[in-house]
DNA sequence: TAAAATAGTTAGCCTGGGTAACCATTTCAA
DNA sequence: TTGAAATGGTTACCCAGGCTAACTATTTTA
């Protein structure tokens, strides 16, 4: 007998691929990729962050984030902000970074608005809550393992 | 101003990585990966399918699915069923495939049940409907591009 | 103050996406 | 009815973006 939660997670996986494909297609026009985009999103909305903060927030390992950040730095979208602790590198968006984010945001907005059409704000908020909840439970599970 | 739908899709991306990480960790104990697991899931629940059907359902290209299917065949979990059309290869689970699916299912169930704890069946069904809806809209968007 | 912890990097691996080009077979239209 | 187009599948090869292991530099702590 097929359980509802099994369907739920299968559908989650099914949705991911076409979403990422289209996202990358749109980002590609600006020379960006998903992994870079989520870093821009984070820095634009939450302000400066260290590599460890970014890696932990996005659930990837430090070397993965090092590479993503390096690419964004090469593109001129990121710069270091000096801190007391000489080990850490706190990063923030450059002017170019802010303006490329805002420009790309328009393209992505058009896409996201289109595909979420017909779903009320309440439902969206409810879904966000649900996803956050699951994510927290995964973190808890990881710690217990 | 940060929009609700922007948050929604960012949270979606944020949830994907830790979920896939844990899924792969559990599957790894049985020598499997996410891409293979979703094929087992499909064949177990929906019965035999051709490569094109699988690829289209999971939104990947044919060569990607060819590779995934080949690995499952090497593991002895898949076999071809003869059809009229000599071009196509319709695949189904072998006995070993069925029993490995059922065995692994237990591990995954334990994980999925734990992390969806506290979310009612109604909410889950609602979320499934929502994700299916978005997926359809992405397909529509792709066709219009 | 020496050892442990933390921030970040480099090197090298692997999964699993993709495209291009191809073969075999089937379908369709002139 | 048959030649062209469409379809199912494969091979070869490229690339993003995950990972671990091992390292350096700095800070914290016992």
Q: What CATH number is given to the structural domain containing B15?
A: 1.10.10.10
B5 vs A60: CB contact, 8 Å cut-off?
no
Ramachandran class of A75: left when φ > 0, alpha when ψ lies in -120 to 50, beta otherwise: alpha
ipTM confidence score: 0.94
Whether B145 shows a pLDDT value over 80: the answer reads no
* pLDDT at B143 (0 to 100): 83
Residues 8-67 of A with CB under 8 A from B: 8-19, 21-22, 34, 38, 41, 45, 57-60
Sheet-wide strand order for A49-50:
A49-50, A90-93, A78-81
* pLDDT at B144 (0 to 100): 80
- CA B132 to C1' D6, in angstroms, rounded, equals 30
pLDDT in tens, B85-94: 999 999 999 9
Q: Which residue of A12, A58, A112 is in closest CB contact with B14?
A: A58
Residues 86-105 of B with CB under 8 A from A: none
- CA B83 to C1' C26, in angstroms, rounded, equals 13
A15 vs B127: CB contact, 8 Å cut-off?
no
Query: What percent of chain B is modeled with pLDDT above 90?
Result: 97
A6 vs B38: CB contact, 8 Å cut-off?
no
Number of domains in chain A: 1
* pLDDT at B66 (0 to 100): 98
Q: What DSSP designation does B90 have?
A: E
pLDDT in tens, A76-112: 999 999 999 999 999 999 999 999 999 999 999 999 9
* Residues paired with B79 in a beta bridge: B92
Torsion angle defined by CA atoms of residues A110, A112, A118 and A123, in that order, rounded to the nearest 10 degrees: -140
* pLDDT at A74 (0 to 100): 96
Whether B1 shows a pLDDT value over 90: the answer reads no
End-to-end Cα distance, chain A: 28
CA distance A5 to A13: 13
pLDDT in tens, A16-66: 999 999 999 999 999 999 999 999 999 999 999 999 999 999 999 999 999
Tokens for B77, please give them.
């979990």
Q: Kindly identify which residue of chain A lies nearest to residue B1, measuring between CA atoms.
A: A45
Q: Which residue of A5, A111, A135 is in closest CB contact with B14?
A: A135
Dihedral sign (CA B38, B42, B45, B47): negative
What is the extent of the structural domain holding A10?
Answer: 4-144
Q: How many CB atoms lie within 10 A of CB B144?
A: 7
């Amino acid at each position: 007998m097929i359980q509802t939660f099994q369907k739920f997670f299968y559908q989650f996986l099914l949705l991911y691929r076409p979403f990422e494909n289209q996202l990358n297609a749109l980002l590609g026009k600006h020379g960006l990729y998903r992994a870079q985009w989520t870093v821009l999103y984070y820095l634009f909305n939450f302000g400066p962050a260290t590599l460890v903060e970014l890696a932990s927030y996005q659930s990837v390992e430090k070397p993965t984030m090092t590479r993503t950040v390096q690419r964004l730095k090469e593109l001129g979208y990121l710069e270091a902000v000096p801190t007391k602790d000489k080990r850490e590198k706190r990063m923030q968006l450059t002017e170019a970074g802010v303006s490329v984010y805002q420009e790309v945001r328009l393209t992505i907005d058009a896409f996201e608005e289109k595909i979420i059409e017909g779903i009320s704000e309440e439902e969206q908020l409810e879904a966000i809550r649900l996803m956050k909840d699951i994510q927290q439970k995964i973190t808890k599970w990881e710690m217990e393992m």
